[in-house]
Amino acid sequence: MTHKSGQIATRGAGHIRARAVGRAAARLADTGKHWHAVAMPVLSIDTQFGRVSVMETDGAVTRLGWNLTADGDKTALLREAARQVAAYDAGELEEFDLPLHVEGSDFQRAVCDAMTAIPFGHTRTYGEIAKDLGHPAQAVGQACGANPIAMIIPCHRVMGAKGLTGFSAPGGVETKVALLRHEKAGGFLI
């Protein structure tokens, strides 16, 4: 869904934002005199797709990744995100309902919006999204690869014109295939 601000959201959720974050979950805080690192709230969940970690910044999920360092407070939002990821993993949830924040260009947010709109169990191609957005398929592919909130913003549902393409999670294409099989998407993935 697109909000008037140009930011996007999962259905029923707040806006999506994303912040480029390294493997360590930290940010700089201004104490008034000096900047120092502050632990970011991160919660890790074991799934059939590997151990995933969800990061929160300022009341919104800003990252879902594999092998992030878990640190900081386990907030109510992170506990809810963990519950939803576990329900998705168990086949009990098809649509996430979390406040998300994707920091990036308008184009990055538009691609995330397009990925979020792909229903559970369905796929689209980079070319189809590119046509909708009026940008080259390669640019869409790069934006998909830069998705900071994988699984929740379902970049695994985006395919190349001739089928499977890469995936930025550990395990690469095998992880993408596992996510698509879990959703019973792409009948060619028997």
pLDDT in tens, 98-148: 999 998 899 999 999 999 999 999 999 999 999 999 999 999 999 999 999
Q: Within a domain: residue 45? A: no
In the chain, what percentage of residues exceed pLDDT 90?
59
Q: Within a domain: residue 116? A: yes
Q: Within a domain: residue 179? A: yes
pLDDT in tens, 162-180: 888 777 777 788 889 999 9
The span from the CA of 17 to the CA of 102, in Å, is: 2
Q: Within a domain: residue 169? A: yes
Q: Can you give the residue range of the structural domain that contains 134?
A: 106-183
Q: Within a domain: residue 90? A: no
Q: Within a domain: residue 76? A: no
Q: Within a domain: residue 28? A: no
Q: Within a domain: residue 58? A: no
Identify residue 74 by its one-letter amino acid code.
Answer: K
Q: How far is CA 44 from the centre of its chain?
A: 15
pTM, two decimals, is 0.78
Known catalytic residues are 155
* CATH assignment of the domain containing 122: 1.10.10.10
Total domains in the chain come to: 1
pLDDT in tens, 27-86: 444 444 544 345 678 899 999 999 999 999 999 999 998 877 766 678 999 999 999 999
